[in-house]
Amino acid sequence: MKQAILVVSFGTAVPRARDDIEAVETELRALRPQLPFYRAFTSPRIRRILADRGETIPSLEDALEQMQRDGITDAAVQPTHILYGYEYDKIRKTVEKFRPQFERIQLGAPLFSCTADILETAAILDGCYPAEDEKRFVFMGHGTGHFADLAYPALETALHRRGRKDCFLTTVEGWPDFESVCRFLKDVPVTLVPLMLVAGDHALHDMAGDDPDSLKSLLESEGCRVSCVQRGLGSVPEIRRMYARHLKALLDAEE
């Protein structure tokens, strides 16, 4: 069989945030540098924005069709998504649709695929953001209405079990929401950190924006002195290695 790697991301239209995706892609590509490598973005809106700028990034469907045309018969598809949420479900359905077209097609796990992944991420964040006097750290994920959203409060619990009661989790579209975290933070220094692959639009606007409903503005209204980190999880070497481990499980699987 002719094997190839396909890395699937939601995507970003923020140029500097693209570095985080490409850092993960580089890590994954290095596992089998001799294999053909493909990229796909799942967000139609982001693909349209990039197309308007003169850059074409294929959808997952287009990438799989190109792999077929290139004679690939064994596809290792690795998402850079965080959760087994709705976006991951869409990827899974597309992979299943294409299954008859390949001799073998495998789908890798998201970053949080099991309890061990959440505990490992807690240890990584603990090391990246050491405790500082009275400072609080708020990690902001995207969030979802999917049951997988419970990974966020689980990660907060894992941090607290490590003695990091100064760390909190919140999400843009899930739970815990901004209001539920802001009630615990009054008149303290706070550092906001994106818990997303990239520091894209959500990090720039929902987290660090000047609108009154941004996380930064809400905390400032509670008397907090807020600083913001503008780098995604893709910039963290230990996180990239977690993704690589998920892909390696596919590449090492017996035919």
Please tell me whether 81 is known to bind a ligand.
no
Query: Which residues have a catalytic role annotated?
Result: 142
Single-letter residue type at 181: V
Query: Is the peptide bond preceding residue 189 cis, with omega within 30 degrees of 0?
Result: no
Single-letter residue type at 64: L
CA–CA distance, 228 with 198 (Å, rounded to integer): 14
DSSP symbol at 53: T
Q: Which two tokens stand for residue 146?
A: 């999917």
Q: Are 57 and 47 in contact (CB under 8 A)?
A: yes
Answer positive or negative: Cα dihedral of 235, 241, 245, 248.
positive
CA–CA distance, 2 with 4 (Å, rounded to integer): 7
Answer positive or negative: Cα dihedral of 98, 100, 103, 107.
positive
CA–CA distance, 252 with 244 (Å, rounded to integer): 12
Task: Provide the whole-model pTM.
Answer: 0.95
CA diameter of the chain = 61
Domains located in the chain, CATH noted: 3-112+235-251 (3.40.50.1400), 115-232 (3.40.50.1400)
CA-to-CA separations, 209 to 143, 152, 230, 233, 254, in angstroms, rounded: 18, 22, 12, 20, 48
CA–CA distance, 224 with 176 (Å, rounded to integer): 19
Rg (CA), the chain: 19
User: Which residues fall within 8 angstroms of residue 229, CB to CB, at 6 or more apart?
Assistant: 191, 192, 193, 194, 199
In 209-253, alpha helices (H):
215-220, 237-251
Please tell me whether 142 is known to bind a ligand.
yes
Please tell me whether 173 is known to bind a ligand.
yes
- pLDDT tens for the chain, 255 residues: list them: 899 999 999 999 999 999 999 999 999 999 999 999 999 999 999 999 999 999 999 999 999 999 999 999 999 999 999 999 999 999 999 999 999 999 999 999 999 999 999 999 999 999 999 999 999 999 999 999 999 999 999 999 999 999 999 999 999 999 999 999 999 999 999 999 999 999 999 999 999 999 999 999 999 999 999 999 999 999 999 999 999 999 999 999 865
